[in-house]
Chain A
């Protein structure tokens, strides 16, 4: 029954122009498809990657102008012109995106708003493309397939529908594969995504370029349909806003959001204009505004979120239900130094947070890093992982320098890290969270878009989730897990790709004693399987039982390092830590 519906509905949509002759309706549907496709393109950037653009009219307009100008001035077929427009729009978008992506999100939104105005005013004053007079498309080319222009509405209906299907297909492919997962990770917590090795800026640029190109295709098709363009009808801010509203009301960050949103918004828009005439113009937009406000408060996933069935609760097994560590060969601590830290220094203003730290981490050990609050432990981690630029010093992982690399490069070099506060991606499923921790070095955008993670990685992710007792919860959003389970999950994420060294920032803080015990067991098991850890921790009992060696930090320096019992008995430690 459902399968039949899944085929019949699209078939019916395709067949509409065969029996419907109402040209107002067909015109409305062409708008639904073209703006729906543009909204789908926006969705890739604004929904998945979380970079909110209010300037998509610029890309729409660039596509329209490129197609129209090449056709009217050079007789170039739209089959080529559409792609030229898409390429130009993608280039323009990267020009804006590259510098603005390092800013906070609302600055990006503002920059796109300004960009759209800049492009519009430029075209208004650019004589080559007709300035304020605009461009007429040559009518002599009509009714020829190679020029995509017709007298009847039906062929336009089908080309617009094809564009809508294409855009939806692209989003569907991205959504189903690694790229979609990474984009959503970027949207939810960019720093955490970086630290897992996801090159966040590359993915944002990818989403932006693809989004701009698809939007330009829609603009080009729109020009071929309306046959006359000027900066008011293809570059108005109204277009940017319409596209955003469609995606928001339908449900941003979902494949079906724009598909539901487009008919709702566009048909309502077209028909209120027809029914109410000039007097009522604006009434529908008031409604859209109210709906957007309400959705932003109560249902961020829009119509899709309202229609989706609430997920069935899955029982979550008690963590660590007796599963074994994924790879058992035990390794004893060796003398080989894998991470060498020399004289790392960092001051914030007048405060010297890290004052020349020297530390050697040996392969296969669990090194505890203890010390009072403010000793500079987390700042040291930040320096090593590229979130803070140290003033001086060096750090080498198996001989390769780390300092000065971006966080994702640090991850690629083989260093993993968890954060003091939990940084899982709350709206991604547990399974997707773990797979975000896959190896990203050498992973091309094409691989990420076209395929799922390799079998071996999925197997290891499965083994890790079983090991941590999270397998039963694999389909649930990570935000629904308990605090302790989220800690286990963040550990699973960082060890998936088996980094050379894993830095853990307070893995046992804030969890109940049973879980502290369990966390220690997990760490020892993973260590036995060959992983090296550096653990910041205040729980001394945990440190004593888990770590092979302990380094004690105070006032930005390593005071002493050695076997746990020795360090614990060291009079300097007693004085600095316990204040004797």
Chain B
């Protein structure tokens, strides 16, 4: 029983980071109905960035956050301006293929730059903190706390600031928002900035306990999609609920059944969810 409790707590902590990974995907999907297949590649690049800051500059991963996050905000903004704005109103197939091509470029750019090797941040003698009676590595606990803070911050931004409300308006209806004088194009760019910044934050939080390689995006892309579909896409709370569920599911089933099969269960639940309730746990029915 204690084993299960331990698995649940560390699963929840991991789930918070998963939630942060899927937040950007969900936000961009919800705001402009574009599914970014390259989403997890930004995670991979942010993990590399944080790793190299640590390896070459001796910068602690948490201390790197103020550098990495703004840079990736710019990266997301730029991606929108150079590529995504041209496909916002293109057929679904063109959108899928454009971000699919982007996935290739980013992934193999990392391959060319860093090679196929696995890199990780090693810190000897890292302490633990007690979370609900379970010892959790400090870096993991910090990742959970920062993720939660990021969620609260984004929710507050969307709810209480003018830009946040404008973003929601643009998500509801492009035409109505335009006619009200909301610069929809800028709102879209903003959502890409925020979306990519948040996944970069997740990358910086993950690197102390998760190794990076160029193909790491595969697993994370599916985990992020699973979270988004589970919680209901286009919703901040949906990403949080979905991420937590996926983290819990992965850790509990991995502990109880077999660790090698844990991702299998995640994807199986994801496919089942697509079939049974494609609008997600929190989403409203309808196409």
Contacts and interface: CB of A to CB of B under 8 A. Distances in A.
B274 A117 contact: no
B100 interface: yes
A288 interface: yes
Contacts of B107: 285, 289
Interface string A93-135: 0001001100111110111011101100110110000000000
A200 to B, nearest CB: 15
A191 to B, nearest CB: 11
B108 A110 contact: no
A107 B278 contact: yes
A152 interface: no
Given A103-B278, A113-B222, A52 B104 contact: no
Interface residues of B, number: 48
A280 B270 CA distance: 36
A245 interface: yes
B98 A296 contact: yes
Chain B binding surface, main DSSP class: helix
A111 B35 CA distance: 14
A57 to B, nearest CB: 11
A289 B94 contact: no
B98 A297 contact: yes
Contact of A285 (B94, B102, B111): B111
Nearest to A114: B267
Contacts of B226: 114
A515 interface: no
A351 interface: no
B222 A296 contact: no
Contact of A289 (B102, B222, B258): B102
Interface in B94-113: 94, 96-98, 100-112
A283 interface: yes
Contacts of B170: none
A106 B222 contact: no
Contact of B101 (A103, A117, A121, A292): A292
A15 interface: no
Contacts of A118: 264, 267-268, 271
Interface in A124-167: 124-125
Nearest to A104: B287
B111 A281 contact: yes
Interface string B238-274: 0000000000000000000010110110011011001
Contact of A110 (B87, B229, B268): B229
Contact of A288 (B90, B104, B222, B229): B104
Contacts of A294: 101
A525 interface: no
Interface in B210-256: 214-215, 218-219, 221-222, 225-226, 229
Nearest to A52: B96
A286 B112 CA distance: 9
A17 interface: no
Nearest to B94: A296
Interface residues of A, number: 46
B124 interface: no
A323 interface: no
B93 to A, nearest CB: 6
Contacts of B278: 103, 107
A542 B97 CA distance: 45
Contacts of A115: 271
Among A96, A125, A286, the one with the most B-chain Cβ atoms within 10 Å of its Cβ is A286
A525 to B, nearest CB: 36
Nearest to A110: B225
A248 B105 CA distance: 15
Among B92, B105, B107, the one with the most A-chain Cβ atoms within 10 Å of its Cβ is B105
B275 A100 contact: yes
Contacts of B100: 54, 244, 292
Contacts of A124: 260
A574 interface: no
A245 B219 CA distance: 20
A356 interface: no
B92 A106 contact: yes
A241 interface: yes
B109 A282 contact: yes
Interface of B: 35, 83, 86-87, 90, 92-94, 96-98, 100-112, 115-116, 214-215, 218-219, 221-222, 225-226, 229, 258, 260-261, 263-264, 267-268, 270-271, 274-275, 278, 287
10 contacts: A113-B225, A114-B225, A117-B263, A118-B271, A121-B263, A282-B109, A285-B107, A286-B105, A289-B108, A292-B97
For the complex of A and B, list the 9 residue pairs with the smallest distance between their C-beta atoms, beginning with the closest. Answer: A289-B104, A292-B101, A282-B111, A293-B101, A289-B105, A285-B108, A282-B108, A296-B97, A296-B98
Given A52-B97, A297-B87, 10 more contacts: A52-B96, A104-B287, A107-B274, A117-B264, A118-B264, A125-B261, A237-B215, A283-B108, A289-B105, A295-B101
